Amino acid sequence: MARIIIVGGVAGGMTAAARLRRLDEAAEIIVFEAGPYVSFANCGLPYYISGVIPKREDLLVASPEHLRNNLLLDIRTESKVVSIDRAVKTVTVESAGQRYEERYDVLVLSPGAAPVRPPIPGVNDERVHTIRFIPDVEAVKKRLDAGRLKKAVVVGGGFIGVEMADNLLRANVEVHLVEMADQVLSSMLDPDMAAFVHAHLRQKGVHLHLGSPVTEFIPDEDKLIVALDSGSQLEADAVILAIGVRPEVELAKAAGLALGPRGGIAVDEYLRTSDPNIYAIGDAIEVKHLVTGQPTLIALAGPANKQGRIVANNIAGRSETYEASQGTAIVDVLGLAAAGTGATSMALKRADIPHLSSVIHASSHASYYPGATPLTMKLLFDRTGRILGAQAVGEKGVDKRIDVLATALRMNATVEDLQRLELAYAPQFGMARDPVNVAGFVAGNILAGDVSTVEASQVPELKDMATFLDVREPREHARGCIPGSLNIPLSELRTRLNEIPRGKPVVVYCEVGRRAYIACCALRKLGLDVSNLAGGWRSYATVSSDC
């Protein structure tokens, strides 16, 4: 009878344990969890702060008693594995102040990743919180319920930081979101797409501080002062430190297991470590990125669950490999959904992968049907048309589109494949030409040479080199335009061609890009050097206001 020890529960570890039991009724399966809860919804933790998830018990997926009774698993909570002796195949466990050893035939490491707590002066103040376990959010919730949390500073604009800002604001807390980089959600969104998130955060009342590293946390009686390198000082009742996570590798490293170049546990395609009797899964391991092919760390529940299942299959003799991760993710930002899959343009540049991009503005469903909302999508692709990444931002329909694009990317689809997709249509759900199809059409036009594009971020550097032509109606132009641009409505373009200066490039724009595309086709056939401003005025106005 095989003896399998799993270190760490939650997504990866508990999936592996449950799957193993379904495959092997005789195996002895022991799960060690350092915390009090072996199976909880850690992705739901921020929503307990605001009361969206009203009870702590709602975060508990399965109790140790349930797992013991239904799956015959030996669950040991508040039991920390402190060392591994690979030579004799034992682990040393610390629990209730005592230490003991347990033997294993196969060991599975699922320790997860821990919040980064950098050596900033004052970072160990009790009012500086990180969010990983249920007790972490309970500490913040206790402060909130006692009326001692009126102002909060959230440090870090990743998933946890944005979600905490969202839920604190919902709980009527004044929120300052501080991010060292020039944008939030940089692992998922390019700057031009993140600009829409920034605008929404500000519109909802979040005070956004971008490009502002924290230099010190200063105690000031019952307050905490957060000092930024810009010289600003923010007053807070509590700070949420959410500047990223670091894979928990100390146990593996001490046991002599190999680590990868990104600092995670190195595994092969079967998720085996450098010791064939030890597997590793979840946030602690390095995986290959599906698009770039480079080692990466992806701390998401979806990949961890899949890895847990694959490891269980391999332990049970059903050989299966884990190909790669593509990092598909979505986050709710005060009613605005932001999502991405594959690589961002920044990641592609770092990997030295040439690529093209397109931006479209559409509606969540047919605009004539009540309730339609704006939807912005960005597609990244190469010269062969292969999809490299996709991003979407909007109030409705984002999850539907990003899942289609994530599936297409996983299946090595091209932009032409997007054009051919037949997606469900009724006016309350979508459009006859779904935004996914339109993204394929726009990208196909670029690949065919029918149009070239200029990104909104390039406008400042092109202002003295190109003519900017606004083909919207005068009333639209008057509401806002690129300074110095020439306004000739599309309906009048062919009769006013003589007004367009010759001898330098022309960048055409309209509200979202459709009319500009028609103008570009006409002007290109007349021999002009012409480009379409990707995303039109809507993208430019959002990006330029974010500078």
Q: What are phi and psi of 477, to 5 degrees?
A: -60, -40
Give residue 270's Cα distance to chain centre: 26
C-alpha span between 421 and 406 (Å, rounded): 14
Comparing C-alpha atoms, which of 471, 466, 464, 523 is closest to residue 498? 523
SS3 label, residue 402:
helix
105: left (phi over 0), alpha (psi -120 to 50) or beta: alpha
Q: Which residues of 247-264 are buried (b: 16+ CB within 10 A; e: fewer)?
A: bbbebbeebebebbeeeb
The dihedral over CA atoms of 279, 280, 281, 284, expressed in degrees to the nearest 10, equals 180
Residues present in the chain in total:
547
Burial class (CB in 10 A: 0-12, 13-18, 19+), 19: buried
Positive or negative CA dihedral for 257, 279, 116, 76? negative
**DSSP designation for 25:** S
**AA identity, residue 218:** I
C-alpha span between 369 and 502 (Å, rounded): 44
Residue of 43, 481, 520, 521 marked active site: 43
Tokens of 504: 């330098």
User: What are the DSSP E strand ranges found in 278-386?
Assistant: 278-280, 287-288, 295-296, 329-333, 336-342, 356-363, 374-381
C-alpha span between 491 and 474 (Å, rounded): 11
Burial class (CB in 10 A: 0-12, 13-18, 19+), 479: exposed
Residue 18 neighbours by CB under 8 Å, 6+ apart? 67, 71, 73
Q: How many helices (H) and strands (E) does the chain have?
A: 16, 30
- CA-based radius of gyration for the chain: 26
**DSSP designation for 44:** G
C-alpha span between 542 and 547 (Å, rounded): 9
Question: Would residue 521 show up in a list of annotated catalytic residues for this protein?
Answer: no
SS3 label, residue 271:
coil
Residues carrying an active site annotation: 43
